[in-house]
Amino acid sequence: MSVTSIDMRPVESQLLRIELGTEVQIAEVEDDFMVTSSKILNIIYRYRLTKGPDANDKWSEGTPKFLAVIYKFVKAGQTLKMCLPAFPFKSANRTFKVLGTLPDKAEETSLDRLNDLCAAIGDVYKPGAKLLIISDGLVYNGECNLLTIPDKDVWAYGQELRAIAAKRCQHIEFSRLKDLVSLKLPAELDEITYVANATNFRRALLNKFGKDDLNVSKEIAEKEDTRLTYCGYTRFLENDLRYIFPISKTRSGMKYRKDVKFVAKEMIARGYAFAGAVKENFPEHLRLSIHQSTGEHKVSISLLPTDSSYTTPWHCTVAFLADGTLTSGPKGEFEVNPRFELVWEDGKPSFFREKSTWSI
């Protein structure tokens, strides 16, 4: 995907009038901190998620806000801190979408891409950048398990991600439960203590950041970013849950789609609580997002260098073409395509590869 650099000059003066107040200071900063901040944001924009028609609508309005965050780090000569709520767990649809419950080549490619983003920032800004990944996997499970994923699968997925990143991604860090809510936790978590405290985490999160009076339907109708996220949820839920809750004599297609919309709204409500925890605990970080947005309030990025709409590794598998490029999609599509073969790594299926023309 080719994304051209954005001309920052018209918004620089607007931003600096807000930050500094005088034209004299504007001229001084534009030659130093602001130029560097603009270079950094241009690099981040190369990774933008631009798959939808609404994705670029308000980037010009969001740019001054993002520059203001970056500018504070640059002026202080500090490493740029970014955070990304993402990497919850593998999709529940293992029949058609994903290869298993653990990270595979899709996650590995995605982590490499995020690490490369930080490294590219380091090329123009010596203090560099760090990206904090904040998993939201536990948020949607529990007493009302919206996506049918066991807490122990969330733990295993997260541990494997950390192991991959530790080997190859020096610019990526991960948060823990204690970073978001106040909990009495053991000094070192393992699978059992993690699962045992998962319900406590959800309860603490929703008690502190949840809103009982939140009107999700009103939020969807009035806030474009919420509407875009809701539409994204309904699309993947309809695909993810159809093998778990199949249409039958007792569950019509209309009833299934209605139930999917209900689950999507519940996810929005929990997502609002999670976003509140992220904002309170990491207020200075530049907030990245995997969800399509208008670009006014958050920087939406694509986690995979793909030409398809499957841009999150936990919802798909990846395939490498003979020319070295990557594409992504549900595993079921690659399985029935004679052009591709499944590749195993470390004893488990990992990705698809286009066969050589002579072997087809």
pLDDT tens string 76-127:
999 999 999 999 999 989 999 999 999 999 999 999 999 999 999 999 999 9
Q: Based on the number of CB atoms within 10 Å of its own CB, is 96 exposed (0-12), middle (13-18) or buried (19 or more)?
A: middle
Chain length of the chain: 360
Q: How confident is the model at residue 1 (pLDDT cuts 50, 70, 90)?
A: very low
Q: How far apart are CA 233 and CA 73, in angstroms?
A: 34
Q: Which of 259, 279, 159 is nearest to 209 (CA)?
A: 279
Residue 300 three-state SS: strand
pLDDT in tens, 291-329: 888 877 889 999 999 989 899 999 999 999 999 999 999
Q: Average pLDDT of the chain?
A: 87
Average pLDDT over residues 327-335: 96
Q: Which of 292, 334, 329, 259 is nearest to 91 (CA)?
A: 329
Lowest mean pLDDT among 55-69, 121-135, 165-179, 191-205: 55-69
Residue 351 is predicted with a pLDDT of: 98
Alpha-carbon distances of 26 from 15, 33, 35, 65, rounded to whole Å: 9, 10, 11, 16
pLDDT-above-70 percentage for the chain = 87
Residue 30 is predicted with a pLDDT of: 53
Residue 121 is predicted with a pLDDT of: 98
Residue 185 is predicted with a pLDDT of: 85
pLDDT-above-90 percentage for the chain = 65
Q: How confident is the model at residue 17 (pLDDT cuts 50, 70, 90)?
A: very low
Residue 142 is predicted with a pLDDT of: 55
Lowest mean pLDDT among 5-19, 20-34, 217-231: 5-19
* Of residues 61 and 354, more confidently modeled: 354
Give the count of alpha carbons within 13 A of 144, CB side only.
Answer: 10
Say if residue 26's pLDDT is above 60.
no
Say if residue 27's pLDDT is above 60.
no
- Report the run of H or E that residue 75 belongs to, with start and end: helix 59-76
Say if residue 217's pLDDT is above 50.
yes
Q: Which amino acid is at 50?
A: T
